[in-house]
Amino acid sequence: MLSALFTQLISQIEGNATERIGLVVSLQGNYRYLRTDNRGINMALTVEEFKRYTNEIQNDEVPSIMFSMLSKVHGHLEKAMSTMSEIEHSHYGMFKIFFKQYNTILVLTRGVNYLYSPEYSYVDIKSVYVLIRSCHELYLTFNYLVTQGILAENDLREIDFKFKCYSLSGMFDNERTFELTKNFEGQKRLYLQEIAGLREKKKNLLSEIEAHPIYAVLSDESKRLVGSGRWRVGINGALSWNDLLQYTPLAKNYGQLEYHLMSMYAHSSHNSLLLEAQHDYNAEGILFHLYILSSLFMAAILRAHGLDFGFFPKREEALITEFYVFHKK
């Protein structure tokens, strides 16, 4: 059994999410503004409107309202696809994956039936946390790729540089896949057909990266990492998933704790078995972090595409505002 103190801590962390609470906000005139940083957003909701809408929204309404907002963002980006650059297409691809995983998580928290024994159903807690952890990493990846000022100040070329490093990492993964499968029956011919072209593309892209102005500001260690296929780098070395939190509005202590908890569920450790066996199946607590990630991801991708929340009804705007800053409390 897990210690009583440990299980109490986990329950408290997840249980705190079941009651949404009002937020203390600063005022400028008659409007409330989110005091975040230069990556933050401003919402023109009056305090009275914010309080009324958030008090009216019931907890069981939150999943569908958040889905509605994600769907609206998806629709706006879908209309803009024809004008998107290659980099913007990749950003939109990340958002679509996030949206699909959000929906899948909702389905799983409502319970599924055994395929060949439909009379029995269950909630797959472990898979839910694995998917929320994936959403967490997806948001951190997206935010790192679209945020300026990590590797250089006021240089728009940073986004292009990081995308090239991200693409190079994918080529390294592809090369590794070919190397691992070349000795399987029937795969040698495919390996010989593809590997030379892949290595040539990788070589050319690496040359572009090394000639990029941003590359010059990196330390020798960061240059070595980029050259070996790593994309999560800062000026002076590798960045962990938790290191990426510093470039987001997400409170670092909160983000680190959530990632730790989700990782305990995701990994096949002794704790993962005990945590699943002793889970209270509180859906609101499970989904709380997903709502925060959804709010932050929507804010980030709209900002990256020069859009805002103007197309949201104020009721939805109030909810996303609440979750956008909730993690800081």
Give per-residue pLDDT as tens, 245-279: 999 999 899 999 999 999 999 988 898 889 888 88
Please determine, for residue 208, whether its predicted confidence score (pLDDT) is greater than 50. Answer: yes
Q: Give the pLDDT of residue 328.
A: 65
Please determine, for residue 161, whether its predicted confidence score (pLDDT) is greater than 90. Answer: yes
Q: Give the pLDDT of residue 40.
A: 43
With CA atoms as reference, report the closest residue to 73 among 300, 321, 322: 300
For residues 46, 47, 52, 57, the Cα torsion angle rounded to the nearest 10 degrees is 90
Q: Give the pLDDT of residue 95.
A: 97
- pTM of this prediction? 0.85
User: Per residue in 120-141, pLDDT tens?
Assistant: 999 999 999 999 999 999 999 9
Q: Give the pLDDT of residue 326.
A: 73
**Checking DSSP bridges between strand 233-234 and strand 112-114, what pairing results, if any?**
unpaired
3-state secondary structure at position 7: helix
Please state, in angstroms and rounded to a whole number, the distance separating the CA atoms of residues 295 and 74.
13
Please determine, for residue 295, whether its predicted confidence score (pLDDT) is greater than 90. Answer: yes
Beta bridge partners of 45: 32
Is the CB of residue 37 less than 8 Å from the CB of residue 299?
no
Please determine, for residue 35, whether its predicted confidence score (pLDDT) is greater than 90. Answer: no
Is the CB of residue 127 less than 8 Å from the CB of residue 116?
no
Please determine, for residue 203, whether its predicted confidence score (pLDDT) is greater than 60. Answer: yes
Mean pLDDT, range 224-237, rounded to an integer: 98
Please state, in angstroms and rounded to a whole number, the distance separating the CA atoms of residues 245 and 242.
5
Band (pLDDT 50/70/90 cuts) for residue 223 is: very high
Is the CB of residue 214 less than 8 Å from the CB of residue 152?
yes
Considering just the CA atoms, what is the radius of gyration of the chain in Å?
A: 22
Please determine, for residue 37, whether its predicted confidence score (pLDDT) is greater than 50. Answer: no
Band (pLDDT 50/70/90 cuts) for residue 42 is: very low
Q: Give the pLDDT of residue 11.
A: 52
More confident residue, 143 or 12: 143
Backbone φ, ψ for residue 26 (5° rounding): -90, 155
* Spacing of C-alpha 149 from chain mean position: 19
Q: Give the pLDDT of residue 329.
A: 56
Please determine, for residue 28, whether its predicted confidence score (pLDDT) is greater than 70. Answer: no
Q: Give the pLDDT of residue 89.
A: 95
Mean pLDDT, range 292-307, rounded to an integer: 92
- The amino acid at residue 8 is Q
Please state, in angstroms and rounded to a whole number, the distance separating the CA atoms of residues 208 and 196.
19
Q: Give the pLDDT of residue 327.
A: 64
Q: How many percent of the chain have pLDDT more than 90?
A: 65
Please determine, for residue 68, whether its predicted confidence score (pLDDT) is greater than 90. Answer: yes
User: Per residue in 12-27, pLDDT tens?
Assistant: 444 444 444 333 332 2
Backbone φ, ψ for residue 113 (5° rounding): -95, 150
Range with top average pLDDT, 35-44, 185-194, 246-255: 246-255
